[in-house]
Amino acid sequence: MPPAAPIVVDLLSDTLTTPSDAMREAMAHAPVGDDVFGEDPTVRELEQRVAALLGHEDGLFTPSGSMANQLGIWLHVQPGQELVADSLAHVLRAELGAAATFSGVTSRTWISERGLLRAQDPLSLMITDGGAYQVNTALVVLENTHNFGGGTVQPIEEIRAVREGTLEQGVALHLDGARLWNAHVATGVPFTAYGTEFDTVSVCLSKGLGAPVGSVLVGSADRMARARIQRKRLGGGMRQVGILAAAGLFALDHNIDRLADDHARARRMADAAHAAAPASIDPATVQTNIVILDVAAAGWSAGDFTAAAGAHGIRTYAVSRRLVRMVWHLDVSDAATDTAIEVVRALLREGSPR
């Protein structure tokens, strides 16, 4: 193992962003009240603003994206039913069995390439006439952009085809839109066009948007009223939390358009990696702020590569034995990107010392 070096460029995750001085200023002056009594004006403003942005009736502020997703799931299922999602979905891979724990559902998955949605995959998995011997599919969950798939943007036509097929069969549709901001910036597809294809949508304020905490779930007023009760049951009823909602409002005002810079920097890394080791990545697949390198193509294990990059001060994340993830966000500059590119390029060219 190379000796630990100070982190110079941190590409571990876009959750690492810290609130800017201007964001902290907005938080400090936010009007607040007791949100469990529905009396925090800043929280209500955020909930209503995100709901309107996505073409839904109402919203619900939650402490995490996991809670927003799990409330979304809970709204649509009964214990003993199932949800279907792709095998790399955050709701199944990174929420620690919450759908089984809190909603009593089993899950089945389809295999995707880079998380990319093909409508037939979920539609052909669904079972809605299972009778007394097959589990009934109550919900399909999609993810846009797709995190472990590498920031993959889902084609709007495929989303629409899933919507049509699920509506026909009475199956609900939830979007894990933690990075829907990035999809919008990459494609120009309006937020409402994405949002209205789903019964519920969750979005994260604490990823590339740069807020320290918070997600919002949107849906019908009825569903949000039910989710509000379940949120309290789970311990997610917070009091003068407008301080945090203010950070979210600031992020919506200031930090959406700038995601294009993150996308450009990620693409620069992808181009450089491709030039050094062509099989490590197809730069055309890098549409947003995430780059996933197949370092095995250059003779590395993901663990060794991550350690070697770390010894040069570049923090990355081994997502599997061959794949290393790098994520751009508002605290990674052009200059930092150049530094990271130099290290990654050299490691890919040299190959593993083992």
Ligand X SMILES: *Cc1c(COP(=O)(O)O)cnc(C)c1O
Residue nearest to ligand X (CB): 65
- Figure out which of the listed residues 51, 105, 204, 270 binds ligand X, where binding follows CB under 6 A: 204
What is the rounded distance in angstroms from the CA atom of residue 43 to the CA atom of residue 22?
A: 19
Tell me which stretch binds ligand X (CB under 6 A): 62-70, 103-111, 305-313, 336-344. 62-70
Q: Which is nearer to ligand X, 82 or 143 (CB)?
A: 143
Query: Is residue 66 involved in binding ligand X (CB under 6 A)?
Result: yes
User: Does residue number 72 form part of the binding site for ligand X (CB under 6 A)?
Assistant: no
What does the alpha-carbon distance between residue 85 and residue 301 come to, in Å, rounded to a whole number? 28
Cβ atoms within 10 A of the Cβ of 243, count? Answer: 21
Cβ 158 to ligand X, closest distance in Å?
17
Asked if 230 is part of the footprint of ligand X (rule: CB under 6 A), the reply reads no
DSSP-based three-state secondary structure for 249: helix
List 35, 143, 261, 262, residue binding ligand X (CB under 6 A): 143
Q: Which is nearer to ligand X, 42 or 206 (CB)?
A: 206
Instruction: Catalogue the E-assigned strands of the chain.
Output: 9-10, 58-62, 82-86, 106-110, 137-143, 172-177, 200-204, 215-219, 290-294, 314-315, 317-318, 323-327
Closer Cβ to ligand X, 211 or 272, answer by number: 211
**CB of residue 204 to ligand X, shortest distance in Å:** 6
DSSP string for residues in 196-245: TTSSEEEEESSSTT--SS-EEEEE-HHHHHHHHHHHHHTT---SSTHHHH
Q: Does 178 bind ligand X (CB under 6 A)?
A: yes
Q: Which stretch binds ligand X (CB under 6 A): 26-34, 40-48, 64-72, 181-189?
A: 64-72
Q: Is residue 188 classed as helix, strand or coil in its secondary structure?
A: coil
Give every CB contact of residue 168 below 8 A, 6+ residues apart in sequence.
none
- Binding of residue 64 to ligand X (CB under 6 A): yes
Q: Which two tokens stand for residue 86?
A: 């792709």
| Smallest distance from ligand X to CB 273, Å | 22
Binding mask 315-354 for ligand X (x = CB under 6 A): ----------------------------------------
Separation between Cα atoms, residue 30 and residue 292, nearest integer Å: 39
Q: Does 90 bind ligand X (CB under 6 A)?
A: yes
Maximum Cα–Cα distance across the chain? 61
User: Does residue 86 bind ligand X (CB under 6 A)?
Assistant: no
Shortest separation between residue 251's beta carbon and ligand X, angstroms: 14
Of the ranges 63-71, 156-164, 184-192, 335-343, which one interacts with ligand X (CB under 6 A)? 63-71
187: Cα separation from own chain's centroid: 16
With binding defined as CB under 6 A, does residue 163 bind ligand X? no
Distance, in Å, from the CA atom of 185 to the CA atom of 192, rounded to the nearest integer, reads 13
Interface ranges with ligand X (CB under 6 A): 64-66, 69, 90, 143, 147, 176, 178, 204, 207, 215
